């Protein structure tokens, strides 16, 4: 697994630019490093060295090493900052597969994978809201795939998105059952479990006979659209769109005034990993009277919100620290609202805003669109 990246791993000059820059618009490349003890193994350069040593079989993965390796959100900021473009995100993901293969998966990640296999969602013994209002009869145009995070942690997102679809008179159906895309398992390196989940999910999707699948979760989008065919060899013919791409052509002229200063938080998966930066911005910018501002770090330099760390209970504090820094950036540009379209970012930024008692409102993209979209 890691072996295939050895040439790339060997390219690391050890310049250290992936540590902390302190220059101009980027004061820190790795969003997590500054909140760690600060060892080499807690930022990309040291992890690349570990990848090299593991590939050359000079060291073995240990529990403590896993702890350091997981203090990484796979946000990809280091990759875009590397002067010689080493695919750091891919290397760090390959290490996660090694962790799983060595049976050293973090218990929280293991539990998540077990839950997905057992219950088709990662959150264990919890109850999901029900959203279906329509009977599944007749062919539908759009299948709205809300994702487990929205289902279990932020149902408000689903209610808002449904309302937007209804107002736009879309012929749609919510995928109103547990069907995990497997993205959290991909991130934690549980690839074979992800494949099992993916196969089950595809069979559930198939029942809806939809023309388009619309996601409002970048992880789901990445999994369904890219990882299934490219990483799992699960090919399908669905047209899959992010909610921002889907809504842009439909809302123009139907939005009412929103006289607020608003900024956009780029989810790492949507932005750096999938390259979707402009669509959500364009959607916000067509709202009449909106004062759209960018945060200090935006587009490919956007700061991660730290949400993936929260999957591991002992890293919850770290997750809040990283999120707090992002939330403070919202306040710095005097934005009243920060909008995003990743349920994990949404929840983590909300926590950070609350924790820091900031006068900022966190909104999901469809939540804001629903507010300003007329019924007609």
Q: How far apart are CA 280 and CA 299, in angstroms?
A: 11
Q: Does 104 bind another protein (CB under 8 A)?
A: no
Class of residue 127 by CB neighbours under 10 A (exposed 0-12, middle 13-18, buried 19+): exposed
Could you count the other beta carbons within 10 Å of the beta carbon of residue 314?
Answer: 12
Is 305 in contact with 345 (CB distance < 8 Å)?
A: yes
| Using rule CB under 8 A, residue 2 touches another protein | no
Q: Rank residues 49 and 361 by Cβ distance to another protein and give the closer one.
A: 49
**Among positions 73, 81, 173, 222, the unique one binding another protein when judged by CB under 8 A:** 81
Segment interacting with another protein (CB under 8 A) among 44-52, 222-230, 273-281, 322-330 = 44-52
Q: Cβ 150 to another protein, closest distance in Å?
A: 37
Return d(Cα 368, Cα 365) in angstroms, integer.
Answer: 6
CB of 86 to another protein, least distance (A): 10
The residue range among 56-64, 94-102, 170-178, 238-246 that interacts with another protein, by the rule CB under 8 A, is: 56-64
Q: Which stretch binds another protein (CB under 8 A): 49-57, 165-173, 212-220, 341-349?
A: 49-57
Contacting residues for 172 by C-beta, under 8 A, at least 6 apart: 140, 141, 142, 143, 144, 165, 214
Closest CB to another protein among residues 21, 292: 21
Q: Which of 178, 112, 187 is nearest to 147 (CA)?
A: 178
Neighbour-count burial of 294, counting CB atoms closer than 10 A to its CB (0-12 exposed, 13-18 middle, 19+ buried): middle
Task: Say whether residue 3 binds another protein (CB under 8 A).
Answer: no
Single out the residue of 64, 118, 127, 139 in contact with another protein (rule: CB under 8 A).
64
Considering only the stretches 22-30, 136-144, 339-347, 351-359, report the one whose residues sit in contact with another protein under the rule CB under 8 A.
22-30
Query: Which residues lie below 8 Å from residue 161, measured CB to CB, with a gap of 6+?
Result: 144, 146, 216, 243, 366, 370
Interatomic CA distance for residues 197 and 219, integer angstroms: 14
Note whether 58 binds another protein by CB under 8 A: yes
Distance (Å, whole) CA 275 – CA 283: 16
The one among 39, 126, 288, 317 contacting another protein by CB under 8 A = 39
Q: Would you count residue 95 as binding another protein (CB under 8 A)?
A: no
Binder among 1, 2, 21, 260 for another protein (CB under 8 A)? 21
Q: Which is nearer to another protein, 24 or 127 (CB)?
A: 24
Residue with smaller CB distance to another protein, 22 or 138: 22
Residues 154-183, interacting with another protein (CB under 8 A): none
Structure tokens at 121: 């969602």
Considering the rule CB under 8 A, would residue 49 count as an interface residue with another protein? Answer: yes
- Under the binding rule (CB under 8 A), the answer on residue 63 touching another protein is no
Among residues 1, 20, 250, 274, which is the contact residue for another protein, using CB under 8 A?
A: 20
Tokens of residue 260, six digits: 């607020």
Residue ranges in the chain assigned as alpha helix (H): 6-10, 44-55, 63-69, 77-81, 88-101, 107-119, 148-153, 155-167, 183-188, 191-206, 218-221, 228-231, 243-251, 278-285, 316-332, 343-355, 365-372
Among 31, 68, 181, 315, binds another protein (CB under 8 A): 68
What's the CA gap between 261 and 264, in Å, rounded? Answer: 11
Tell whether residue 38 is a contact of another protein (CB under 8 A): yes
- Asked if residue 238 binds another protein (CB under 8 A), the reply is no
Give the binding site for another protein (CB under 8 A): 6-7, 10-11, 13-17, 19-24, 27, 37-41, 45-46, 49-50, 53, 58-59, 62, 64-65, 68, 81, 83-85
């Amino acid at each position: 697994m890691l072996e295939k990246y050895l040439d790339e791993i060997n390219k690391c000059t050890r310049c250290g630019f992936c540590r902390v820059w302190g220059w101009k618009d980027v004061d820190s490349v790795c969003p997590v490093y500054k909140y760690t003890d600060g060892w080499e193994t807690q930022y990309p350069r040291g992890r690349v060295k570990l990848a090299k040593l593991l590939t050359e079989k000079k060291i073995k993965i240990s529990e403590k090493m896993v702890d350091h390796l997981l203090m990484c959100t796979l946000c990809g900021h280091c990759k875009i900052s590397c002067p010689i473009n080493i695919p750091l995100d891919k290397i760090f993901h390959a290490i996660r597969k090694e962790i799983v293969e060595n049976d050293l998966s973090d218990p929280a990640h293991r539990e998540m994978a077990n839950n997905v296999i057992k219950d088709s969602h990662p959150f264990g013994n919890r109850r999901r809201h029900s959203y279906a209002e329509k009977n599944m009869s007749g062919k539908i145009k759009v299948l709205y795939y809300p994702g487990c995070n929205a289902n279990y942690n932020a149902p408000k997102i689903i209610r808002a998105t449904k309302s937007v679809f209804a107002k736009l008179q879309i012929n749609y159906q919510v995928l109103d059952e547990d069907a995990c895309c497997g993205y959290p398992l991909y991130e934690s390196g549980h690839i074979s479990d992800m494949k099992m989940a993916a196969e089950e999910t595809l069979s559930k999707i198939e029942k809806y006979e939809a023309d388009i699948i619309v996601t409002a979760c970048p992880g789901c989008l990445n999994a369904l659209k890219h990882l299934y065919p490219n990483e799992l060899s699960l090919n399908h013919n669905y047209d899959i769109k992010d909610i921002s791409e889907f809504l842009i052509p439909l809302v123009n002229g139907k939005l009412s005034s929103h006289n607020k200063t608003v900024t956009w938080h780029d989810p790492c998966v949507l932005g750096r990993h999938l390259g979707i930066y402009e669509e959500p911005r364009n959607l916000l910018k067509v709202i009449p009277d909106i004062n759209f501002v960018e945060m200090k770090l935006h587009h490919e330099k956007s700061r991660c919100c730290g949400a993936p760390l929260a999957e591991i209970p002992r890293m919850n504090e770290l997750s809040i620290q990283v999120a707090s820094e992002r939330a403070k950036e919202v306040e710095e540009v005097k934005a009243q609202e920060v909008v995003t379209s990743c349920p994990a970012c949404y929840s983590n930024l909300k926590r950070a805003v609350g924790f820091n008692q900031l006068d900022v409102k966190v909104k999901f993209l469809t939540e804001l669109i629903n507010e300003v979209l007329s019924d007609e």
